[in-house]
A = this chain, B = another copy of it.
Amino acid sequence: MILSALLTSVGINLGLCFLFFTLYSILRKQPSNVTVYGPRLVKDGKSQLSNQFNLERLLPTAGWVKRALDPTDEQILSNLGLDALVFIRVFVFSIRVFSFASVVGIFILLPVNYMGTEFEEFFDLPNKSMDSFSISNVNDGSNKLWIHFCAIYIFTAVVCSLLYYEHKYISLKRIAHLYLSKPEPQEFTVLVSGVPLVSGNSISETVESFFREYHSSTYLSHVVVHRTDKLKVLMNDAEKLYKKLTRVKSGSISRQKSKRDGFLGMFGKKVDVVDHYEKKLEKLEDDMRLKQSLLVGEEVPAAFVSFRTRHGAAIASNIQQGIDPTQWLTETAPDPQDVHWPFFTASFVRRWMSNVVVFVAFVTLLILYIFPVVLVQGLANLHQLETWFPFLKSILNMEIVSQVITGYLPSLIFQLFLFIVPPIMLLLSSMQGFISHSQIEKSACIKLLIFTVWNSFFANVLSGSVFYRVNVFLEPKTIPRVLAAAVPAQASFFISYVVTSGWTGLSSEILRLVPLLWSFTTRIFCKEDDKEFEVPSTPFCQEIPRILFFGLLGTTYFFLSPLILPFLLVYYCLGYVIYRNQLLNVYAAKYETGGKFWPIVHSSTIFSLILMHIIAIGLFGLKKLPLASSLTIPLPILTFLFSIYCQRRFLPNFKSYPTECLVNKDKADARDQNMSEFYSKLVVAYRDPALSASQYSRDI
């Protein structure tokens, strides 16, 4: 790739970005789009858009950028929660890292690379190959490579110190968040699983007597979990029916007053629709009541146990309770909205086994992911299609159609397969027996990150068969050499990847094209009132791996091909503005994980650094500078030690709160008048929603 080609691509994407931003700044001011661009504001009742028409509504303005940048970290923490703050801080951290990297890369490494071999053609810039800017332009054994060597050491030191600072900042914010927040049920509650079955006692009695005995001073109440999966099916049916009924009654579906009650409404005798639905609903509710009364007996050996103090809950969750470590397992309870109810049917052994199965499935998917893609792409083969569907022959023989099919279909299929990866990861994680949606998301986020790095980075770099790739990692000694030979060659590909996928991805994120079109269509075709809309939940699980992957690209190419750095810096700056805007206006967190995404960022950064070091070790070897290669070896070891130190120093704070905070907060609560009210709410907070189902038929 030559420089001018890159610049063309940058220009096109820059144009697209500006177009999207302009569209956004106009569209967001239209009152009809308020549920697309400001659902969070609408929900909070903060939307100030008037229906009055004025000229300013049609002009693109940049006021939203200012508004997005306005709130301080403290305001974000108190309004949007800790997870949003962590998400923003990831961008801040990345901007800092790549600002430094860009300065070093552009002003020191790039000139060194460019003057590596050829002096004469200094001024023919546009036709230069991208290789002229990368380390491959430097002669073998040249002493200029020592500049790269120093840059690697300095860059690592800077990243590590920034990481340390950020880790400290976020862990302090986590404590601050606890002090700021109101009492939450999850702080006072512990999930107990593996309750032993005592003959003659119900599970509820066993739990009660155990905690009355061993936590007599702090025990408040408990809620035993029930097996409610069948009930939930009935509930969903009832809810749908109820919605339909209200619609029929209000007249929004008034086309047919009566329908046949047979198959698909086509056979049988005619009945009145309202009557028909009401009867059906009543029957369903009878079923539900029956199930509910039956379910009181169907207890699962797990319970949410609530305590009078946070410290009491921490004591129960941190210390092994029963003599048998597989019984009376305790863990911090999730947010009541965050509970993943289906988990509770699993026992200790089954939960553990499903963990193993999911792990195996994930590794298999990771390694063999390419096969189904290739298989389906094979179906897009022209000859194959012709033999299978002979009637398509005439169409397929057309020049344009065949070009589209052979050119775009395979990459389209690949993209489609990439789209289904996040749901698959979520599905895998949800099978692992996590008790909360946030844990599932966190686990899916890690899986997705590994998947992205493996199938986007290593698949592109180590082009060749899957087995070749796996094989490389089975021979640890050859890794540096293989990577050092393969990674620099892909520099131009990844630069254009940052520009196309990164930049355009961000601008389509802010435009929210799919929700926009959806809202537009529903407004035209449905006459329903559009007050019923859901605030989308923040897509941490999908976005964090992508952001971290760009960080990995930047870190590994920092000394190989520093031209990538300014593009990345632009990406992070754009992302910072856009995601602040989206978090303030669009998304709302359904639950709070307490900043638990940060450790993933930490590990990913450390991994990127070590990967860079390994490539450097191999590259200095290939460039015939064995001394530099040997002198780089301590770097990954030191980085790894730094990582362990950080984990010891900060990670405990991400797992649970220290006694100091809990007791202080408990003491502050004790002076609070509203605590008795909170306790009465706490007692019922963890009732299974299925068991406290509202009675729809009464509302009609």
Contact = CB atoms under 8 A, between A and B. Distances in A.
Interface string A283-325: 0000000000000000000000000000000111011111101
A325 B647 CA distance: 10
A653 B320 CA distance: 8
A474 interface: yes
A132 to B, nearest CB: 37
Interface size class of A (residues with CB under 8 A): 35 or more
A356 interface: yes
Nearest to A320: B658
A468 interface: no
Given A319-B315, A320-B653, A320-B658, A663 B213 contact: yes
B352 A659 contact: no
A383 interface: no
A663 B321 CA distance: 10
Contact of A214 (B326, B649, B663): B663
A423 interface: no
A476 interface: yes
How many copies of this protein are present in the complex?
Answer: 2
Nearest to A656: B320
Interface in A629-678: 641, 645, 648-653, 656-661, 663
Contacts of A663: 213-214
A255 interface: no
A356 B637 CA distance: 11
A475 interface: yes
A641 to B, nearest CB: 6
Given A474-B476, A477-B474, A663-B214, A645 B325 contact: no
A650 to B, nearest CB: 7
A68 interface: no
Contacts of A653: 320, 323, 325
Nearest to A474: B477
Contacts of A656: 319-320
Nearest to A652: B325
A652 B213 CA distance: 22
A161 to B, nearest CB: 16
A175 interface: yes
Contacts of A660: 214, 321-323, 328
A320 B648 contact: no
B321 A318 contact: no
A318 B655 CA distance: 13
Contacts of A649: 325-326
A325 B661 CA distance: 12
A325 B648 contact: yes
A473 B656 CA distance: 39
Contact of A645 (B323, B352, B648, B661): B352
Contacts of A641: 356
13 contacts: A175-B323, A214-B659, A318-B318, A320-B652, A320-B656, A320-B657, A322-B659, A323-B658, A325-B651, A325-B652, A352-B645, A352-B648, A474-B476
Given A321-B659, A326-B649, 18 more contacts: A315-B315, A315-B319, A316-B659, A320-B653, A320-B659, A321-B658, A322-B659, A322-B660, A323-B653, A323-B661, A325-B650, A325-B652, A325-B653, A328-B658, A352-B645, A475-B475, A475-B476, A476-B476
